[in-house]
Amino acid sequence: MEKVEDIKESQPAAGRRDVDVDQLNLSKKKLTRLPDLSRFHFLRELWLNNNKISELSGRSLNCCLTELYLQNNNIPSISGALKHLTCLRVLLLHNNRLRGLEDTTKELRRMQQLHTATFFLNPISHEAEYRLHVIHRLPSIQVLDGEGVESAERRRSFQMFNRERHRVLQSVAFGRRAAG
């Protein structure tokens, strides 16, 4: 069970006010759910990795987070929990139980600054064309599952998921009219 003491002893320095906390490490605390962290208004980096979290609730997370570490938990879905975190640049979700690639990427689509993400060791990483799908749905991604995103992968994802638009662009590029 989560305790307020766990949060207090994880704060960077004793005696700091909640408003002064910009980093919070709650890893390896045996948490089963997300504690209410809404009082940390300027929290930017949050470590919740290596717990037993099985459900996320976005109501307790500050929308100004830039880094969120949720790897090595039991999370089956992020739907409805993270979409308000539009400042997120780093999101590690590997080694969870994430299912539903479309739902997962839909939850993250408003994160236009998301640079680094991990989803490996989840059921979604075994779905067909997983990597290309993530690259297409999250165009700001530069590092996916620890590997840099190559321009060739971006082209392939565009070709695969925007077939009609790709066909029109190819016909215009080569001076042909697209057949309707």
Q: Please measure the distance between the N-terminal and C-terminal CA atoms of the chain and give it in whole angstroms.
A: 61
Task: Read off the pLDDT of residues 38-87 as tens digits, 9 standing for 90 and up.
Answer: 889 899 999 999 999 999 976 778 889 999 999 999 999 999 999 999 99
Nearest to 37 by CA among 98, 102, 81: 81
Q: Which domains does the chain have, with CATH numbers?
A: 4-149 (3.80.10.10)
| Token pair in block for residue 169 | 């662009």
Query: What pTM does this model have?
Result: 0.83
Q: How many CB atoms are located within 10 Å of the residue 53 CB? A: 23
CA distance 65 to 68: 7
CA distance 147 to 142: 8
Contact 27, 7 (CB under 8 A): no
CA distance 51 to 56: 12
| Token pair in block for residue 49 | 């990795």
pLDDT at 17 over 80: yes
Mean pLDDT computed over 126-130: 95
Task: Read off the pLDDT of residues 137-179 as tens digits, 9 standing for 90 and up.
Answer: 999 999 999 999 999 999 999 888 875 554 444 555 555 554 5
91, amino acid identity: L
67, amino acid identity: E
